[in-house]
């Protein structure tokens, strides 16, 4: 069973810094084979040293990314990506500055895409200086819709405002979305882990956060993050894990892992969380591998209690009350779980 490819949608009003965020991601040595779909390819400032090949409207980069124009519509662009010999591990879509991200989400309801691609997260980029100005008429509604639909709000250009202005912008955002997970940045410098799924490299990449050396700008980014890793060889309760995902602190932006569920013990199940959005998906059978749970959580430095988080995950260890689970009964009928 092939897992679906996660799609990250980056929205935000005109001039908020969406393309700057993409430029930063495209310059990172993240090792993720990602397809980046943009409306205006000419706006992407790609260092010529990173380009390893050009094929029509597609540019291949040394860090594994490919960048493509959305010339006709998004569905066709996605189909073209999926027709490539080597499939991407993740897809990033930069929306138009005047589009509603939920309309873009509905694109992936297309039968040709819905079983192959899944929405991994919606990010809204907000201009800390200009957003308070965008509070009249249809512009106000659009800018607010972009925030309301998002899983994470990237509050950009924070260097252009003072403390009082920054608080005003934050308050306006929280007025639209009280549970918004806010990440403050300058010049769109966000870590790759905030933007798309890392696949199997996610845990190792997360473990490196806070210990980066070299580029001072990149080091500054990683200093803003802290990580927590939890593992166990015991079965987990899906019900408890869902409740935990829904109650994690707002300052936790990202979580990913492989879990061993008591409700579906024969299957390796992935856990993905971006902002407020999370999902569990069966990947394949454990086979000869020893079932285990391995989860990484990423959040702002110093805002979550690791000991408390450890206790919360411990409380999600299977209760033994899953005998009546329809998933477990089906698993047994298929011979995937012992009687």
Q: What is the pLDDT of residues 31-42, one digit of tens each?
A: 778 888 876 544
Residue matched to tokens 């935000």: 12
pLDDT the model gives residue 36: 84
Indicate if the pLDDT at residue 324 is higher than 50. no
pLDDT the model gives residue 225: 63
| Average model confidence (pLDDT) across the chain | 77
Indicate if the pLDDT at residue 104 is higher than 90. no
Indicate if the pLDDT at residue 230 is higher than 60. yes
No. of H helices and E strands in the chain? 10, 14
**Pair 195, 171: CB distance under 8 Å:** no
pLDDT the model gives residue 63: 58
pLDDT the model gives residue 237: 94
**Integer angstrom CA distances of residue 311 from 83, 121, 137:** 45, 27, 47
Q: Higher confidence at residue 138 or residue 209?
A: 138
pLDDT the model gives residue 171: 93
**Integer angstrom CA distances of residue 272 from 37, 292, 321, 328:** 22, 16, 24, 22
| Burial state string for 71-89 with b = 16 or more CB within 10 A and e = fewer than 16 | eeebeebbebbbeeeeebb
pLDDT the model gives residue 71: 60
Q: Higher confidence at residue 218 or residue 73?
A: 73
Dist CA 327 CA 153 (whole Å): 36
Dist CA 309 CA 227 (whole Å): 11
**Cβ-Cβ contacts under 8 Å for 188 (sequence gap 6 or more):** 17, 18, 20, 21, 22, 23, 24, 125, 154, 156
**Pair 112, 79: CB distance under 8 Å:** yes
**pTM for the whole thing?**
0.65
Share of the chain above pLDDT 70, in %: 75
Least confident among 62-76, 153-167, 247-261, 269-283: 62-76
Condensed to tens digits (0 to 9), the pLDDT of residues 180-228 reads 889 999 988 888 777 764 444 333 333 333 333 333 333 333 345 677 8
**Cβ-Cβ contacts under 8 Å for 76 (sequence gap 6 or more):** none
pLDDT the model gives residue 195: 74
Condensed to tens digits (0 to 9), the pLDDT of residues 247-302 reads 888 778 778 889 999 999 999 898 888 777 788 988 889 989 899 999 988 777 77
- Binned at pLDDT 50, 70 and 90, residue 19 comes out as confident
Q: Higher confidence at residue 207 or residue 141?
A: 141
Options 3.40.50.300, 1.10.10.1100, 3.30.1330.10, 3.40.50.11810; which CATH number does 5-197 get?
A: 3.40.50.300
In this structure, CATH architecture of domain 204-333 = 2-Layer Sandwich (3.30)
Across 75-89, 196-210, 296-310, the highest mean pLDDT is recorded for 75-89
- The domain ranges of the chain are 5-197, 204-333
Mean pLDDT of 98-121: 86
């Amino acid at each position: 069973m092939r897992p679906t490819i996660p799609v990250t949608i980056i929205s935000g009003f005109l001039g908020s810094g969406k393309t700057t965020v993409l430029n930063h991601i495209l310059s990172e040595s993240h090792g993720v084979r990602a397809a980046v779909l943009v409306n205006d390819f000419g706006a992407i400032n790609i260092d010529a040293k990173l380009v390893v090949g050009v094929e029509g409207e597609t540019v291949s980069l040394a860090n594994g990314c490919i960048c493509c124009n959305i010339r006709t519509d998004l569905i066709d662009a996605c189909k073209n990506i999926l027709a490539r010999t080597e499939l991407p591990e993740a897809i990033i879509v930069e929306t138009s500055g005047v589009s509603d991200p939920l309309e873009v989400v509905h694109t992936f309801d297309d039968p040709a895409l819905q079983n192959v691609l899944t929405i991994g997260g919606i990010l809204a980029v907000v201009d800390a200086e200009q957003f308070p100005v965008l509070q009249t008429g249809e512009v106000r509604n659009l800018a607010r819709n972009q925030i309301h639909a998002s899983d994470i709000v990237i509050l950009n250009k924070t260097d252009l405002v003072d403390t009082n202005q920054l608080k005003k912008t934050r308050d306006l955002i929280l007025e639209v979305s009280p549970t918004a997970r806010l990440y403050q940045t300058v010049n769109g410098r966000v870590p790759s882990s905030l933007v798309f799924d890392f696949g199997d490299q996610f845990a190792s990449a997360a473990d490196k956060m806070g210990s980066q050396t070299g580029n001072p700008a990149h080091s500054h980014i990683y200093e803003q993050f802290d990580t927590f890793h939890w593992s166990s060889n015991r079965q987990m309760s899906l019900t408890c894990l869902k409740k935990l995902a829904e109650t994690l602190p707002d300052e936790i932006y990202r979580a990913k892992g492989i879990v061993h569920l008591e409700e579906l013990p024969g299957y390796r199940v992935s856990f993905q969380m971006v902002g407020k959005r999370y999902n569990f998906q069966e990947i394949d059978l454990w086979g000869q591998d020893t079932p285990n749970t391995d989860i990484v959580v990423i959040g702002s430095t110093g805002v979550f209690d690791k000991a408390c988080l450890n206790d919360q995950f411990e409380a999600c260890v299977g209760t033994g009350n899953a005998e009546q689970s329809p998933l477990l009964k089906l698993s047994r009928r298929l011979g995937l779980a012992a009687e």
